[in-house]
């Protein structure tokens, strides 16, 4: 058993498990929350599809578990939700806790190559590989071959990036206020620079706006919501969803990147929770679930 | 205009307002959140009923706004939700910040009579009087004559107590894990003692289990949920809902205090949010709303 169950929380009609385990990728103890929907108890082996939700900067698995309100949606359609952490914690790297938008809480879903971070900051291999493999071993009713991916902000970038790097792995992808072209914004420059170094060809391996141009594989609709009153969008230009749409032209995704710009909404969980139901319906369709 | 709008947050199909004002009752600046449902913008004068949600120990107006998930329910039926704070803040009373379950964050919805607290700790008159009067003046589409009340833990007690002390004021009442007989539990003894002194006849004026025995007025069903895995219920005996049910015998509420004991659920917002929909349906019925 890889995971220790630190708590089992009854919520809505299912159960939220707070799990922890020793990760071989990050070489740290990692926490992860898993919501098992009401269908889980009576389910047969490998029959519950999975939605992987990647959180944004500073978040732990708990923020979205408490505030994003996936639980009733998961019960409605019958999928589990996996909420990984956003970085290793306590790796002991000098300076990793100094900044809210780099290091702890900001793993940026890459496998770091810089000397300082390459041993522990392997969140790409962790969330798309080790975590899923180990959860599938321990929770054999979960079907990790029928999985979709979503996320918020840094996690929205992580979802888009992970989907585009792994054709056919994820049935569908969506994102809330994603950092869509990290190579071209301050958050991305800081994190890609810190974890991957100065060679921008290495950044392109993770940047959705670069990846989409070369993508070959299934091309489900990509559902994105962005708040028009989100200061990280309109003021700081950290999100740049327009660049992703532009890059999709001439690719299998042309006309399939649906960015919904929502009047008045900000970057918070008040925004995310407002559109969770729409994203759940989107993924349910591709996961073969209906209500 | 009594209230300053500190922020307007678009969430679900309505808007959450974070307001603050100088209270004449508490003689401090008080914060309050108000969710205006999607029906508000096009509503006519005094046409939107109100649900008053009283929070538990340590909470500010934000906890329930983020985690209890009233917003979609308010949109479904067309009521507003008012989230008051749980005590004065910054009154400058010696020791008021020393304890998590007394003083700041724990006003216990009474008008204090002890010398130390009587000037500021007037949460009974504040939530049932001043706050509603001033909100009604500033938000004239809200109908404070068509109002129901609910709350969690200390706020569940506050809702029951406020309902029973004001026959015909509230159309209906419900509670999540309420402190149902505060005179008989440690939380109640600490707070009633601190705010009201040692004369237990003064405590009975606020204790739902005492109040229900002498109540005369309309007697709608009282809806209560309690988690059977809530340590404040089964271990610490702070909630005592059985005492309220027992006291209701021979009163207009006999057979109408519906306590639902929920297997596995705890005391957290994971519990509250799981049953918000049932409580919303309960209140909507008495508020004359339907979906």
Q: What is the pLDDT of residue A88?
A: 97
Question: How many percent of chain A have pLDDT more than 70?
Answer: 100
Q: Which residues of A are catalytic?
A: 153, 230, 267
pLDDT at A290: 81
Reported ipTM: the value is: 0.94
Share of chain B above pLDDT 90, in %: 99
Nearest by CB to residue A274, choosing from B11, B269, B274, is B11
**Structural domain count of chain A:** 1
B69 and A273 within 8 Å at the Cβ level: the answer is yes
**In the predicted model, what is the mean pLDDT of residues B126-137?**
98
Chain B residues within an 8 Å CB radius of A15: 264
Answer whether A48's CB lies under 8 Å from A77's CB.
no
pLDDT tens-place string over residues B200-215: 999 999 999 999 999 9
For B2, counting Cβ atoms within 10 Å of its Cβ (0-12 exposed, 13-18 middle, 19+ buried), the class is middle
Cβ(A215)–Cβ(A164) below 8 Å: yes
Predicted confidence at residue A55, as pLDDT, reads 98
Measured distance CA(A248)–CA(A226) in Å, rounded = 18
Using an 8 Å CB-CB cutoff, list chain A residues near B262: 10
CA distance B268 to chain A (A): 9
A10, A227, A278: best mutation site toward chain B, by most B Cβ within 10 Å? A10
Find chain A residues with C-beta within 8 A of B12's C-beta.
273-274
Percent over 90 (pLDDT), chain A: 99
Q: What is the rounded CA–CA span in Å between residue A281 and residue A278?
A: 5
Confidence of residue B121 (pLDDT cuts 50, 70, 90): very high
Nearest to A66 among B8, B11, B269 (CB): B269
Whether the pLDDT of residue B156 is over 90: the answer is yes
Residue A291 lies in a domain: no
**Which chain B residues touch A12 with a CB distance below 8 Å?**
273-274
**Which residue, among B269, B274, B278, would best test binding to A if mutated, counting the most A CBs under 10 Å from its CB?**
B274
The answer to whether the Cβ–Cβ distance between B11 and A67 falls below 8 Å is no
Residue A239 lies in a domain: yes
Residue B35, phi then psi, degrees to nearest 5: -95, 120
- Give the mean pLDDT of B98-114: 96
- Are the C-beta atoms of B134 and B2 separated by less than 8 Å? yes
A with B: how many residue pairs have Cβ under 8 Å apart?
62
| pLDDT value of position A266 | 98
Q: Report chain A residues touching chain B, CB-CB < 8 A.
A: 9-13, 15-16, 66-67, 69, 71, 227, 229, 262-266, 268-271, 273-274
Q: What CATH number corresponds to the domain at position A85?
A: 3.40.50.1820
CA–CA gap between residue B30 and residue B20 (Å, rounded): 5
Residue B5 CA to residue B20 CA, distance in Å, equals 7
Q: Quick one: average pLDDT of A147-161?
A: 98
Q: Which residue numbers of B have CB closer than 8 Å to A's CBs?
A: 8-13, 15-16, 66-67, 69, 71, 227, 229, 262-266, 268-271, 273-274
Q: Which residues pair with A255 in a beta bridge?
A: none
Cα separation of A121 and A106, whole Å? 10
Domain carrying residue A107:
4-286
Identify all chain B residues contacting A263, using CB atoms and an 8 Å cutoff: 10
Mean per-residue pLDDT of chain B: 97
Q: What is the pLDDT of residues B188-198, one digit of tens each?
A: 999 999 999 99
Q: How many CB atoms lie within 10 A of CB A167?
A: 13
Report the pLDDT value the prediction gives residue A53, as an integer from 0 to 100: 98
Exposed e or buried b per residue across B74-108, where buried means at least 16 C-beta atoms within 10 angstroms of its C-beta: bbbbbbbbbbbbbbbbebebeebeeeeebbbbbbb
The partner residue sitting opposite A9, judged by closest CB among B16, B69, B270, is B270
Q: Which of A18-27, A92-101, A208-217, B266-275 has the lowest mean pLDDT?
A: A92-101
For B13-66, the pLDDT digits (tens) are 999 999 999 999 999 999 999 999 999 999 999 999 999 999 999 999 999 999
Name the burial class of residue A28, with classes exposed (0-12), middle (13-18) and buried (19+) by CB atoms within 10 angstroms of its CB.
Answer: middle
Contact B66, A67 (CB under 8 A): yes
The strand order across the sheet containing B80-84 reads: B4-11, B14-22, B29-36, B80-84, B48-54, B142-151, B173-176, B222-227, B257-262
Q: Which of B11, B266, B274 is nearest residue A270 as measured by Cβ atoms?
A: B11
Assigned token pair, A29: 């103890």
- A1 falls in which pLDDT band (50, 70, 90)? confident
Per-residue pLDDT at A119: 97
CA distance A264 to chain B (A): 6
Which residues from B are below 8 Å from A69, CB to CB? 69, 273
Please state, as a whole number, how many other Cβ atoms lie within 10 Å of the Cβ of residue A118: 13
Closest CB to B67: pick one of A16, A66, A263. Answer: A66
Hey, of B8, B9, B10, which one would you mutate to test binding to chain A, going by the most A CBs within 10 A of its CB? Answer: B10
For B226-277, write each residue's pLDDT tens digit: 999 999 999 999 999 999 999 999 999 999 999 999 999 999 999 999 999 9
Give the tens place of pLDDT for each residue, A41-54: 999 999 999 999 99
Using the structure block, give the residue that is written with the tokens 């790796």.
A91
CA distance to partner chain A, nearest, from residue B277 (Å): 10
Residue B1 has pLDDT above 90, yes or no: no
- Please identify every residue of B annotated as catalytic: 153, 230, 267
């Amino acid at each position: 058993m890889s995971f220790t169950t630190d708590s089992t929380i009854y919520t809505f009609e299912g159960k939220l498990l707070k799990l922890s385990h020793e990760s071989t990728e990050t070489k740290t103890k990692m926490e992860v929350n898993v919501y098992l929907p009401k269908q889980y108890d009576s389910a047969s082996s490998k029959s519950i599809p999975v939605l992987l939700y990647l959180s944004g900067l500073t978040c732990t698995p708990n923020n979205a578990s408490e505030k994003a309100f996936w639980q009733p949606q998961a019960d409605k359609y019958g999928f589990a939700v996996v909420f990984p952490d956003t970085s290793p914690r306590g790796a002991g790297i000098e300076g990793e806790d100094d900044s809210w938008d780099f290091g702890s809480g900001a793993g940026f879903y890459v496998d770091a190559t810089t000397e300082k971070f390459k041993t522990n900051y392997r969140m790409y291999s962790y969330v798309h590989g080790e975590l899923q493999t180990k959860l599938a071993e321990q929770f054999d009713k979960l079907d990790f071959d029928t999985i979709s991916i979503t996320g918020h902000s840094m996690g929205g970038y992580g979802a888009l990036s992970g989907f585009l790097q792994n054709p056919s792995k994820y049935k569908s992808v969506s994102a809330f206020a994603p950092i869509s072209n990290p190579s071209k914004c301050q958050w991305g420059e800081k994190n890609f620079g810190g974890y991957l170094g100065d060679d921008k060809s290495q950044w392109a391996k993770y940047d959705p706006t670069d990846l989409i141009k070369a993508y070959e594989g299934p091309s489900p609709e990509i559902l994105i919501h962005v708040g028009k009153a989100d200061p990280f969008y309109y003021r700081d230009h950290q999100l740049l969803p327009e660049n992703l749409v532009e890059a999709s032209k001439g690719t299998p995704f042309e006309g399939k990147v649906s960015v919904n710009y929502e009047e008045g909404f900000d970057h918070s969980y008040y925004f995310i929770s407002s559109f969770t139901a729409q994203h759940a319906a989107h993924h349910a369709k591709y996961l073969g679930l209906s209500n």
